Structure 1
Amino acid sequence: MKPLAFLLLFFVFTTQIKAADRPNILWITIEDTSPNLGCYGDTFARTPNLDAFAARGQLFQHAWSNAPVCAPARTAIITGMYPPSTGAEHMRSQVPLPAGVEMYPQLLRRAGYYCTNNNKEDYNHEKPKGTWDDSSKKAHWKNRAANQPFFAIFNSTTTHESQNRKPNRQLISDPSKVPLPPFHPDTPEVRGDWAQCYDNIATMDGEFQKHLDELTAAGLAEDTIIFFYGDHGTGLPRFKRWPGNGGMQVPFIVHFPKKWQHLAPQAYSPGAKSEELISFVDLAPTLLSLIGEPIPDYIQGRPFCGTKRAPAPEYLHGFRSRMDERQDFMRSITDGRYVYIRHYMPHVPYGLRLSYQSMMPTMQIWEKLAKANQLNSVQADYWKPKPFEALYDLQSDPWETVNLASSTDHTETLHRLRAAQQKHLVNIRDLGFIPEAERIRTAAGNSPRDAFQDDSTYPVQEVVALANLATDPGQTDPLPLLTALENPNPILRYWAATGLLIRGQSVYTDAYPALKKALIDPTPSVQIIIAEIVARHGDAADQQEALSILLKLANVEQSDWFTAVEALNSVIALGDRAATIKDEIAALPQSLPTTPKRLAEYVPRLIETLTTSGE
């Protein structure tokens, strides 16, 4: 036998031996579901199968998805990295992986695992060829080679947001008895959506059991570690897309058969309820820890079980950035009891009109009642400008409705969580502070993380400090912002402009010369913010000049897709001040041949919002 052939045979043989002594791993995942299960204490839920599974496994009380919407949440899972650190945090985006970074199925396959995904992907990173053995509706662990260990995902869409607004629905749950959160108005539409949500969870519970039965019938139950979890919070407004606990907390239950309990999480026992903090960035390193493989240095999560189990963190981190076609920017942190949220676009209300979300009856009636001033103070908060920071005590306020940021009794907690969050933003080099259009332009088809890896292009500490100052209403002196507006770095100029936008009319007169000069800023993202300020506060001539700039930048054929999205968001924010360009907006081209398919709907949605319903 030739030496090369012998070495190849030896490698295959040793890999199979090594793989044969490893557990199978099954993930049963669901969509758009908070811990509304009986085993989590929800007495309205009908989940006997999951309750029984939790009774013989371990339930996590503090599992966060890192993002409150599917694509960025799944991006955190597939890489083991925080998406804001790789430029993949938006809903949706499509950027290259950083150099040297692989998706975890690639690592598992290299270790001898048969890896299948049935079937949702929705990653914000471009998927390398050969990531999965099979990722399709036909993907199944049954198709592996003899004696080959498997890693398999079965994802249920039964509980997805779209399934909560079914037409002509026949409800099983009694809408009159369904529990409602205090921020939702008590209307038939809202009760109907919640009842449908609970019905879908009950259906999903039956689907879950079928996967267990299939595993048992194949004689593999004692060889397989099982994870069950949701991808983010419930698919109703102020759960899905909400950056607090309501949007981040997911049901998360694990089961380790006796054979593999030495790999189980700390204090594992049947029916246990763990207080350990875990989040989606932990899943990739946990998989590698379970199969005894090295964990790459770029991984930002930590394994919570397996041979390389690491201590639990003090905090979990979450984020919300662009939601479909609408721009936003929030960062959150929790220690398990308190949640702190920093809003970097406090001038934008929570209740942004998202075309997809607005299809939900709950959203429609909530918005209608808000416009008619028929909501109580808790329900109305969703439609008001955001505070620049918020602090919630989940122990006394599980619905996150009482902002304690100004409470003197919670000053220490506020400062502690704020400092921990700021440290995290700098440590991961959060790219969310770079406007998306500028980020994509500079990266020029490469990974944004690689393009902004050092302080020569992205002085992250300086940028975060300026963003904090710009968005803090207590910082009223415009001089630091006017100084930064002339900085050579476009990211710093962007935050200076944003700070002046937030301060509004009160600084406009003094800032006017600098603003007029900045209308021709070479960076479109800066130009857009400046044009919005001038169109909002300038005289008729200045207003028309600013609107002309926005109109040009909103044209995908004259700028680019990402710039157009930013410009159209500013036009929407101007409301009636942009009425004179409404017809021209309607006539704008709405696509480019180069626009990625997963992003193509957003410019048309914005144009529709501007030219039909408005805000």
Structure 2
Amino acid sequence: MFVLALFSGPATTLFAADSENTRPNVLWITSEDNGPHLGCYGDTYADTPHIDKLASRGTIYLNCWSNAPVCAPARTTLITGMYPTCLGAEHMRSMVKLPKQFLMYPQYLREAGYYCTNNSKEDYNVAKSGKVWDDSSRKAHWKNRKPGQPFFAVFNHTISHESKIRNRPHTLVHDPAKARVPAYHPDTPEVRHDWAQYYDRITEMDALVGKNLKELAEAGLADDTIIFYYGDHGSGMPRSKRWPYNSGLQVPLVIYIPPKFRNLASSDYQTDGESDRLVSFVDFAPTLLSLAGIEPPKHMQGYAFLGQHQTKPQDYLFGFRGRMDERYDLVRSVRNKRYVYIRNYMPHKEYGQYLNYMFQTPTTQVWKRMYDEGKLVPPQTYFWETKPAEELYDLQSDQDEVHNLVGSDKHLNVLNELREAQHQKLLAIRDLGFMPEAEIHRLADGRAPYLVGHNSQLYPMPEILAMADLASSRKPHCEAELLAGLKNSNDVVRYWAAMGFLIRGQQAVQQAAPQLRAALQDSSKSVRCIAAEALGRYGNQQDVQAGVKTLLSLSNLNKDGLYVAMLALNGLDKLGPEKTASVQDQIAKLPLKNDKIDRRLQNYVTRLVERIQEQQQQNEK
């Protein structure tokens, strides 16, 4: 079997590392949209011989999180060694600047003499400054380095991506009857087919990993190369990908350290071993630098878990969710080795907001259709309903995370522990996600948003977080505090105060109607959007008309910018086709493109407009 050659290949070749070189090569093999659904993780349905063999020579990490449950923010965490939430980069396919003194990890490696290649996906939410890779392309390869030069190389495999589990026709190899259907999914032929096809793609991905390992062995580099295999976030199935549950954040991580570099290993590393150490993507860049003998820069927020500069194990992992494609949301999560806590700051939004891309998956379509037809029972119904402010799950007894323990007296201590850990992390990194995306870009004004987040005048984090906590808690009898928030001098505090009324619904909005009407003229367009949505959904007839008019006026991306337009269009969509019927012609005339916008964001306004029109057409039938 060719993977065995990885550990018994030729001793030297043209590109073999110099025997006197004490710096290891590092090979990262990554795969897209798959959790730890591998044989080496005890999944008997999986067929992954090559990764399993690698695991038998190294260590698997049982508790590894991607920090973000979707590709671009997760990859931003990797490339920076920082939480994108403090960079203004948490949103799916946003683009922001880093402070000039913050480099991406390949730049530190290249300064130290490493040849760095990426084959080939980048998809970062932060702009590159200067030369990052020696080569980042489909032809990028460690073999193009100078003789004896240490290398760092990434090979990224896309065959397990979400788009590959729904493309048809596909002849299944895995028996769908034997697939495990999680408790939150309905047990239908479509769902079983998608799960079986997902496992088929994992097997195909495993074969590609095997080719990477074989090539390394045949080059005689196995004894000189530390190997990481990992996925980029949870599976592409709905309620895994895009959601900061453990199911969306847990990824496989297998690391092999050859004997000559075992001095760089940690105490929990062992051959054919398992580590329950808590590690996440924010730790990868510091760990990589540590393996290369480079002290991680102080601005990196992760902790090295291998190498010369390794640190002690951490007690928690942290996850996040921001805007997913065209839909806004704000969720934070934290876990220890047993429990995961989730904080929903926009609980008035359904889990399964309509995302054009997600709804192309057959599982999503049949799941929503059955919900609309009343054919589902809890926990299969939860995904299509609004969220509680807090969630707590015992991963030991509830791997599908469907039994919320927030109301359990028995779990009050762990709830308070994780709640406080999450709160302190937000403050420590100065999480910018509580600022509307449009405000981030307006205040940054071409600079790095990180600098805005660390300016206490522009971003009084404790005050903003206190209002966001209050607004999203659904705590009763706090109208006076929310009304005071609407008068605050800070735009973001006012935004969360308006959000607090929207979250509480009709009675609260009607009580605060005069103040919300005044907020339609707020200096912040983001505040106007939320006030307009609140009045449009829960106000009287005149309020509805004013809300629609305000949201429509803010939906022109050429006039008000992409992020304001997306927020306004999300509001119009939530008002529904009956309330927006009179402005459908104007919605149809909205500009859909702007060549100055990053190409990855070009379709989001189009999707929102098309969805509003589609809902109107369905309503008229």
Do they fold alike, i.e. is TM over 0.5? yes
Q: Do structure 1's residue 159 and structure 2's residue 165 form an aligned pair?
A: no
Structure 1 residues 542 and 474, CA gap change in structure 2 (3 angstroms):
closer
Separation in 2, partners of 1:378, 1:583: 40
Q: How does 1:264-283 map to 2 (within 5 A)?
A: 264-283=265-284
In the TM superposition, what is the alpha-carbon distance from 1:475 to its structure 2 partner? 3.5
Separation in 1, partners of 2:339, 2:582: 47
- Which residue in 2 is equivalent to 1:362? 363
Asked if structure 2 preserves the Cα contact closer than 8 Å seen for 1:266 and 1:305, the reply is no
- Which residue in 2 is equivalent to 1:491? 492
In the TM superposition, what is the alpha-carbon distance from 1:462 to its structure 2 partner? 1.0
| CA offsets 1:565-614 (integer angstroms, 9 cap, x no match) | 01011111111322322222122111112111111110001111111147
Separation in 2, partners of 1:35, 1:88: 26
Asked if structure 1 preserves the Cα contact closer than 8 Å seen for 2:453 and 2:459, the reply is yes
Q: Do structure 1's residue 374 and structure 2's residue 375 form an aligned pair?
A: yes
Q: How does 1:190-229 map to 2 (within 5 A)?
A: 190-229=191-230
The number of aligned residues is 600
Letter in 1 for 2:562: W
- Which residue in 1 is equivalent to 2:7? none
Asked if structure 1 preserves the Cα contact closer than 8 Å seen for 2:73 and 2:93, the reply is yes
Asked if structure 1 preserves the Cα contact closer than 8 Å seen for 2:241 and 2:248, the reply is yes
- Which residue in 2 is equivalent to 1:332? 333
- Which residue in 1 is equivalent to 2:613? 611
Q: How does 1:461-480 map to 2 (within 5 A)?
A: 461-480=462-481
Asked if structure 2 preserves the Cα contact closer than 8 Å seen for 1:99 and 1:450, the reply is no
- Which residue in 2 is equivalent to 1:426? 427
- Which residue in 1 is equivalent to 2:186? 185
Structure 1 residues 181 and 305, CA gap change in structure 2 (3 angstroms):
same
| CA offsets 1:176-218 (integer angstroms, 9 cap, x no match) | 2211111111111111111110101111111111111111111
- Which residue in 1 is equivalent to 2:37? 36
- Which residue in 2 is equivalent to 1:136? 137
Q: Do structure 1's residue 311 and structure 2's residue 279 form an aligned pair?
A: no
Q: Do structure 1's residue 595 and structure 2's residue 597 form an aligned pair?
A: yes
SS at match of 1:225: strand
Structure 1 residues 431 and 18, CA gap change in structure 2 (3 angstroms):
farther
- Which residue in 1 is equivalent to 2:47? 46
| CA offsets 1:520-551 (integer angstroms, 9 cap, x no match) | 00100000000111112222223212211100
How large is the RMSD of aligned CA atoms in angstroms? 1.4
Separation in 1, partners of 2:453, 2:205: 43
Letter in 1 for 2:503: I
SS at match of 2:26: strand
Q: How does 1:24-103 map to 2 (within 5 A)?
A: 24-103=25-104
SS at match of 2:165: helix
Asked if structure 1 preserves the Cα contact closer than 8 Å seen for 2:510 and 2:538, the reply is no
Separation in 2, partners of 1:488, 1:351: 34
Greater CA deviation, 49-58 or 299-308?
49-58
Q: After the TM superposition, which segments of 4 or more aligned residues of structure 1 sit over 6 Å from their partners?
A: 16-19
- Which residue in 2 is equivalent to 1:585? 587
Letter in 2 for 1:128: S
Separation in 2, partners of 1:435, 1:267: 42
SS at match of 1:238: coil
Letter in 1 for 2:553: K
Separation in 2, partners of 1:213, 1:75: 29
Asked if structure 2 preserves the Cα contact closer than 8 Å seen for 1:19 and 1:148, the reply is no
- Which residue in 1 is equivalent to 2:344? 343
Greater CA deviation, 458-467 or 16-25?
16-25
| CA offsets 1:39-87 (integer angstroms, 9 cap, x no match) | 1011100011111111110000000000000000000000000000110
Q: How does 1:389-468 map to 2 (within 5 A)?
A: 389-468=390-469
SS at match of 1:318: strand
Letter in 1 for 2:458: T
Letter in 1 for 2:591: P
Greater CA deviation, 533-542 or 223-232?
533-542
In the TM superposition, what is the alpha-carbon distance from 1:23 to its structure 2 partner? 0.3
| CA offsets 1:415-452 (integer angstroms, 9 cap, x no match) | 01000100000000000000001111111111111123
Letter in 1 for 2:580: A
Separation in 1, partners of 2:523, 2:535: 17
Letter in 1 for 2:417: R
In the TM superposition, what is the alpha-carbon distance from 1:17 to its structure 2 partner? 9.6
| CA offsets 1:494-543 (integer angstroms, 9 cap, x no match) | 00000011112212333122112111001000000001111122222232
- Which residue in 2 is equivalent to 1:293? 294
Give TM-score scaled by structure 2 length: 0.95
Separation in 1, partners of 2:153, 2:615: 44
In the TM superposition, what is the alpha-carbon distance from 1:294 to its structure 2 partner? 2.1
Asked if structure 1 preserves the Cα contact closer than 8 Å seen for 2:506 and 2:539, the reply is no
SS at match of 1:53: helix
Separation in 1, partners of 2:615, 2:328: 18
Separation in 2, partners of 1:17, 1:203: 34
In the TM superposition, what is the alpha-carbon distance from 1:110 to its structure 2 partner? 0.4
Give TM-score scaled by structure 1 length: 0.96
Asked if structure 1 preserves the Cα contact closer than 8 Å seen for 2:86 and 2:453, the reply is no
SS at match of 2:593: coil
Structure 1 residues 440 and 18, CA gap change in structure 2 (3 angstroms):
farther
Greater CA deviation, 471-480 or 135-144?
471-480
Letter in 2 for 1:512: A
Letter in 2 for 1:425: L
- Which residue in 1 is equivalent to 2:12? none
Structure 1 residues 18 and 539, CA gap change in structure 2 (3 angstroms):
farther
Percent identical? 50
Separation in 2, partners of 1:424, 1:504: 30
- Which residue in 2 is equivalent to 1:111? 112
Letter in 1 for 2:501: L
Separation in 1, partners of 2:18, 2:41: 40
SS at match of 1:557: helix
- Which residue in 2 is equivalent to 1:527? 528
Structure 1 residues 542 and 19, CA gap change in structure 2 (3 angstroms):
farther
Separation in 2, partners of 1:310, 1:240: 30
In the TM superposition, what is the alpha-carbon distance from 1:19 to its structure 2 partner? 9.8
Separation in 1, partners of 2:175, 2:102: 49
- Which residue in 2 is equivalent to 1:320? 321
- Which residue in 2 is equivalent to 1:7? none
